[in-house]
Amino acid sequence: MKAVFLLLLLFPAVLLAQTITLTYENSNSYPWYMKDGSGIDLMLLKMVDEAMPEVNFKYTQAPWKRCLKNIETNVTEGCFSASFKEKRKAYGYYPGGDSPNKSQRIHSSSYSLYVLKGANISVTGKLTIEGLNGKVAAPAGYSIGDDLIKKGYKVDAGASLSSHNFEKLLQGRVKAVAALSLNGNNILSKNSKYSDKIQVIDPPLIDKPYYLMFSKKFANSNRALVEKIWETIGALRETKAHKDNAGAYLSK
């Protein structure tokens, strides 16, 4: 009995950690989550788990509709990554309630435009580029390339890495580069070869926040814990450690 008491004193956080099961879609959504358990969202949630000894995240995968159904029926406590739709409020809670708190998003699917410094090119609206006279390089296999083609722009999607597309921009083979903001900004911050000559255009071409949702039953019974998880996601998402980890993952 004494030994058990000593263990409780030494390892209270481990013993009292609450297991929280989160469901995500059983398909690859690069770079956010992958069927093999990798991805930037999962990396961030691991950081949250490590920062909060009172929780222990477990993961399951399912078709997206089942992910939402799981929190509606309390099969699991949470699901990610959910963009905001009014009808989804019937399934569970977003951070912030009826109007989601964007600062507590798990990620933004944000794409930015990168051009040579001094270029008279601007972003004037969602997927709307002014002053472009030539091709835009976009990473192979990403939705942004198709989105720009649908808008009538000429797209070079021959390279998968944004660093390769930045080389095309420096060589004059394209007039702009569309890249995940997280990736492109990380490359510029670490390489003066690019940052000396290339700039990011504000606002982004497109920006859509995605969230970790919790079931209503779990959130109502664990309000303080749920709020802390959302706050920790928001804080850790902006850390240099997370951005470096994400940059390393994207450069593989």
DSSP string, 158-194: --SSHHHHHHHHHTTS-SEEEEEHHHHHHHHHH-HHH
* Start-end of H helices in the chain: 2-10, 12-16, 40-51, 64-72, 143-150, 162-170, 181-190, 192-195, 216-221, 223-237, 240-250
* pLDDT score at 10: 52
CATH at 144 = 3.40.190.10
Examine residue 92 and state whether it is found in any structural domain, yes or no: yes
Q: How many Å apart are CA 247 and CA 251, to the nearest integer?
A: 6
> Residues 129, 246: one domain?
no
**73 and 58 part of one domain:** yes
Q: Does one domain contain both 87 and 171?
A: no
- 99 and 219 belong to one structural domain: yes
Tokens describing residue 146: 């198709």
Residue 2 domain-assigned?
Answer: no
Are 163 and 236 in a shared domain?
no
The answer on 212 and 103 residing in a single domain is yes
Q: Does 87 share its domain with 28?
A: yes
Specify if 126 maps to a domain: yes
| pLDDT at residue number 111 | 92
- Lookup: tokens for 249: 């993952």
pLDDT given for residue 241 in this prediction:
96
**Domain span holding position 159:** 110-206
Does residue 6 belong to any structural domain of this protein? no
Residue 111: count other Cβ atoms within 10 Å of its Cβ: 26
Query: Do 197 and 175 share a structural domain?
Result: yes
* Residues 101 and 114 grouped into a single domain: no
pTM of the model: 0.72
Is residue 1 one of the residues assigned to a domain?
no
pLDDT score, position 169: 98
What is d(CA 99, CA 83) in angstroms, rounded to the nearest whole number?
A: 12
**Structural domain count, the chain:** 2
Confidence (pLDDT) at 118: 96
- Does a structural domain hold residue 5? no
* Same-domain status, 67 and 144: no
Which amino acid is located at 199 in the chain?
A: Q
For residue 117, count CB atoms less than 10 angstroms from its CB and return exposed for 0-12, middle for 13-18, buried for 19 or more.
exposed
Give me the residues of the chain with pLDDT under 50, please. 4-8, 13-14
